Amino acid sequence: GNPYMCNNECDASTPELAHPPELMFDFEGRHPSTFWQSATWKEYPKPLQVNITLSWSKTIELTDNIIITFESGRPDQMILEKSLDYGRTWQPYQYYATDCLDAFHMDPKSVKDLSQHTVLEIICTEEYSTGYMTNSKIINFEIKDRFAFFAGPRLRNMASLYGQLDTTKKLRDFFTVTDLRIRLLRPAIGEIFVDEQHLARYFYAISDIKVQGRCKCNLHATVCVYDNSKLTCECEHNTTGPDCGKCKKNYQGRPWSPGSYLPIPKGTANTCDCSQISFVNNCECFGHSNRCSYIDLLNTVICVSCKHNTRGQHCELCRLGYFRNASAQLDDENVCIECYCNPLGSIHDRCNGSGFCECKTGTTGPKCDECLPGNSWHYGCQ
């Protein structure tokens, strides 16, 4: 069939003939007939480029394939992009082209070429950008095929997938978005050359965009509601925030942690505790303090008043002027050794992790108490 539609049926100023963006998202069952249509390529050879941005004002975890149904021919070049920070920055999700090497300087691949170890690779595919055959209207971003590397071809071993998602942040982030952007870079040509006598037949038209996902609530909610025009998690386990990403006030007795899929099938809630100050059993200060405090701004519990010349969130670092005793355990009172930099030969009293001080010009030695050849010691090397 003819891949091009009658372009005289599109008139944005006439409601009956208009094809506005909302027609990409109206529910029409299995055979969508309404569609959005772009302007035509009347300014050729200037590129005909269109961005379609989907924003949820909420972090979403994708659970099924992204499916874009074109009413026109599928584009010769397209990029699907994602954002994890509400559209401030964007990363490519997948490239689509009739010729990946020519369009994006990438070798063509399909998801079937990937594996568990390369599942996060950003690829360019030619699968969805060629021909006008039957059923050639659809472009996919294959979420389920990527799940299948861990859950098996029929997704029967979901426990394996959940285990991987639970322990691999990069994998979780790959399937997580706040926004999606479809960048249409070159419309379907259908021939080797653009027919400059009939530029009005080149355009983009999309009848349906399907994105399936769930609110990211860090496994601290089972319900996500539409409240004041925003998706909101109904947080449990004494958590709060848009993604249930921190502990409620007065429930900050231990650091916030996401819920866990493990052990399968019940998982672990990782509920926030009710006390604001924790003592030795929960503090995790390696014995250098028995008191912790919750810092609301950082959503973090830190050790207070570290002893034995230690510092840090868990008293795991040495104070300035001290360095780590490599032969001592972290809970040893002598874990930090004083630098003892010579004040006359060193720039300051701090040393590196090996105990070496930073020496002034002409001075050397671990403690900066020796002179380089050609210098003599007199209140420092001269």
Q: What is the pLDDT of residues 42-77, one digit of tens each?
A: 888 898 999 999 999 999 999 999 999 888 789 999
Query: 45 with 238: CB under 8 angstroms?
Result: no
Answer yes or no: is pLDDT of 264 > 50. yes
pTM tops 0.85: no
Give residue 79's pLDDT.
96
Q: What is the pLDDT of residues 173-196, one digit of tens each?
A: 999 999 999 999 999 887 667 777
Please give the domain boundaries of the chain with CATH numbers for all domains: 21-214 (2.60.120.260), 217-275 (2.10.25.10), 280-338 (2.10.25.10), 341-381 (2.10.25.10)
Query: CA-CA distances (angstroms) from residue 95 to 73, 91, 217, 218, 243?
Result: 17, 11, 29, 29, 30
DSSP H/E element including 226: strand 224-227
Q: What is the pLDDT of residues 70-105, one digit of tens each?
A: 887 899 999 999 999 999 999 999 999 999 999 999
Answer yes or no: is pLDDT of 137 > 90. no
Answer yes or no: is pLDDT of 301 > 60. yes
Q: How many angstroms separate the CA atoms of 301 and 118, rounded?
A: 36
Residue of 164, 170, 168 whose CA lies nearest to 149 = 164
Banded model confidence at residue 287, pLDDT cuts 50, 70, 90: confident
